[in-house]
Amino acid sequence: MQHVVDFIQANHDRYIEELREFCAIPSVSTKNEHKKDLERCAQWLADHLRKIGMENVEVIPTKGHPILYADWLHAPGQPTLLFYGHYDVQPPEPLELWESPPFELTLREGNLYARGVVDDKGQVFIHLKAIEAFLRDGGRLPVNIKMMIEGEEEVGSENIGTFIEEEKGRLECNALMVSDTSMLGRGLPSVCYGLRGLCYFEVEVEGPKQDLHSGSFGGGVPNPINILCEMMAKLHDKHGRVAIPGFYNGVRALSKKERQQLRRLPFSEKGFQQTTGARKLVGEKGYTTVERIWARPTLDINGIFGGYTGEGAKTVIGSKATAKFSTRLVPNQDPAKITKLVRRHIERLAPPSVKVTFKVHSEGKPWVAPFDHPIVQAGRRALEKGFEKPAVFIREGGSIPLVTTMYEEFGRPCVLLGFGLPDENAHAPNEHMNLENYLKGILSIAYFYHEASQASGKGVEAS
């Protein structure tokens, strides 16, 4: 292990320069104009995977953006780890709020700034650099590794399901490993054992056939924005609970033991509030902030538009209004059932004076797993060696739908070792990743491969 650690310590500068190239490719999956950039990004990654010694590297086309596959399978008798990550990123807009250009990696005050640097390019790269440290000069990895890196995570992983079904044999593994989550805070290496699910919806309300003068027509015709606001206001009750009938059916209550565990975490409500800049924290009565964001289902409007939104005043009744909203789900809520309930609720709220269309954008299942599995514990030990700090077990409020798919379909443990921080602006302007966490991440993942091989036979079956 020592020569691997020494190699990593000696290569810090190069790790930044290479990540700069990766982040320079604007692989924004939601926009069609970037389709070529996603292909270019996949090719760049494929070349890099070959360069570090991965084998059977393939760029696999899908109906959407390509998926990358690669493996290294020369550790007989050792476990096989399947890595999952994504090379697509969120749109950088609004551009004027960035302090440095989003696709030019910039080091400022110990942080690396770029769109996608922490979600998820830097974290994917952490694994590539750990692998490289073992494989250079004809070296060997202590475990078998397969990699599956997709380009559609940020848009709901639409095509990877088909890929997994078709390639089930090739993806067979002893555990899934993912680095696409955050640490609880600075100096708190974290293993994540739960994610929320997600359903994303859009509602459009159409009223008059065109925009109308609000003086000549106001009061005499349905106003789509008024109506949409009324409908949206009925998604919650006055206690902040989701008011959709049946929404909480099947929600697994937190056990006493888990509540205690969560309460013991060094989570700062004040720090959380400061990160958000909110004047006051709010949420479902009877739950702490950590419980609200990790273990309770929620509903949020993500965007609402219609009518006049330009400068100054314009007296008008817009002909249409649209809202995008999403629910975060917890075990054992089922996204398909939730979609049905939400659709029915929206249909009931829709008055006959307007036309209401309901659209489902994406659905993803929640995930929670016990963290006493030997391979998960190997992950914890690896983080503790990489960071030289005790690790904590956390859940996350965000969603990685593929984790549940792999957990349910392959019945394999999932090890989520994330190296982001909660205030690093993922999906927002000035996204960044702490440089120290990037480098300690590489070290930790190298230790993880080592620990996973050590755990082999102790509950972690070899392949």
* Interacting residue ranges for Mn ion, rule: CB under 5 A: 119-120, 180
Out of 153, 291, 363, 396, pick the active-site residue: 153
Q: According to CB under 6 A, which one of 182, 327, 437, 444 is a site residue for ligand BES?
A: 182
Q: According to CB under 6 A, which one of 18, 71, 180, 451 is a site residue for ligand BES?
A: 180
Q: Dihedral of the CA atoms 83, 88, 91, 96 (nearest 10)?
A: 80
Contact 80, 173 (CB under 8 A): yes
Residue 214 binds which of Mn ion, ligand BES, none (CB < 5-8 A, kind-dependent): none
Closest approach, Cβ 153 to ligand BES, in A, equals 5
Choose between 190 and 319: whose C-beta lies nearer to ligand BES: 190
Residue 156 binds which of ligand BES, Mn ion, none (CB < 5-8 A, kind-dependent): ligand BES
Residue 363 binds which of Mn ion, ligand BES, none (CB < 5-8 A, kind-dependent): none
Piece of 175-183, 227-235, 403-411, 436-444 that binds ligand BES (CB under 6 A): 175-183
Q: According to CB under 6 A, which one of 85, 297, 335, 398 is a site residue for ligand BES?
A: 398
Closest approach, Cβ 132 to ligand BES, in A, equals 23
Residue 396 binds which of ligand BES, Mn ion, none (CB < 5-8 A, kind-dependent): ligand BES
The tokens describing 111, both together, are 């942080």
Choose between 328 and 380: whose C-beta lies nearer to ligand BES: 328
Q: Dihedral of the CA atoms 133, 136, 138, 141 (nearest 10)?
A: 20
Q: Rounded to whole angstroms, how far apart are CA atoms 36 and 33?
A: 8
Closest approach, Cβ 178 to ligand BES, in A, equals 9
Closest approach, Cβ 182 to ligand BES, in A, equals 6
> Hey, how many other C-beta atoms are within 10 angstroms of the C-beta on 194?
21
Choose between 362 and 454: whose C-beta lies nearer to ligand BES: 362
Choose between 366 and 386: whose C-beta lies nearer to ligand BES: 366
Choose between 140 and 427: whose C-beta lies nearer to ligand BES: 427
Residue 198 binds which of ligand BES, Mn ion, none (CB < 5-8 A, kind-dependent): ligand BES
The tokens describing 305, both together, are 């538009």
Q: Rounded to whole angstroms, how far apart are CA atoms 433 and 115?
A: 10
Q: According to CB under 6 A, which one of 181, 223, 405, 453 is a site residue for ligand BES?
A: 181
Q: Which of residues 337-376 bind ligand BES (CB under 6 A)?
A: 362, 364
Contact 70, 127 (CB under 8 A): no
Q: Is 154 in the site for ligand BES (CB under 6 A)?
A: yes
- Whether 88 sits among the annotated catalytic residues: the reply is yes
Contact 354, 365 (CB under 8 A): no
- Tally the residues of the chain: 463
Residue 431 binds which of Mn ion, ligand BES, none (CB < 5-8 A, kind-dependent): none
Pairing mode of beta strands 80-86, 175-178: parallel
Q: Rounded to whole angstroms, how far apart are CA atoms 380 and 384?
A: 6
Q: Is 156 in the site for ligand BES (CB under 6 A)?
A: yes
Q: Report which of 91, 71, 75, 101 is spatially closest to residue 83, judged by C-alpha positions.
A: 71
Q: Is 27 in the site for ligand BES (CB under 6 A)?
A: no
Q: Rounded to whole angstroms, how far apart are CA atoms 233 and 195?
A: 27
Q: According to CB under 6 A, which one of 396, 424, 431, 451 is a site residue for ligand BES?
A: 396
Closest approach, Cβ 326 to ligand BES, in A, equals 8
The tokens describing 61, both together, are 């086309």
Q: Is 437 in the site for ligand BES (CB under 6 A)?
A: no
The β-bridge partners of 6 are: none
The β-bridge partners of 317 are: 212
Q: Is 119 in the site for ligand BES (CB under 6 A)?
A: yes
State which residue has the least CB distance to ligand BES: 398
Contact 199, 335 (CB under 8 A): yes
- Whether 153 sits among the annotated catalytic residues: the reply is yes
Q: DSSP character for 118? A: I
Buried b (16+ CB within 10 A) or exposed e, 126-144: bbbbbbbbbbeeeeebbbb
Choose between 120 and 291: whose C-beta lies nearer to Mn ion: 120
The amino acid present at 126, given as its one-letter code, is I
Q: Is 400 in the site for ligand BES (CB under 6 A)?
A: yes
Collapse the DSSP code of 417 into the 3-class scheme (helix H, G, I; strand E, B; otherwise coil) and give the result.
strand
Out of 18, 71, 88, 363, pick the active-site residue: 88
Q: Is 198 in the site for ligand BES (CB under 6 A)?
A: yes
The tokens describing 299, both together, are 């509903």
Closest approach, Cβ 316 to ligand BES, in A, equals 34
Residue 27 binds which of Mn ion, ligand BES, none (CB < 5-8 A, kind-dependent): none
Q: Rounded to whole angstroms, how far apart are CA atoms 170 and 230?
A: 51
Q: Report which of 186, 129, 187, 200 is spatially closest to residue 158, judged by C-alpha positions.
A: 200
The β-bridge partners of 106 are: 113
Residues that bind ligand BES (CB under 6 A): 119-120, 153-154, 156, 180-182, 198, 362, 364, 396, 398-401
Enzyme catalytic residues: 88, 153
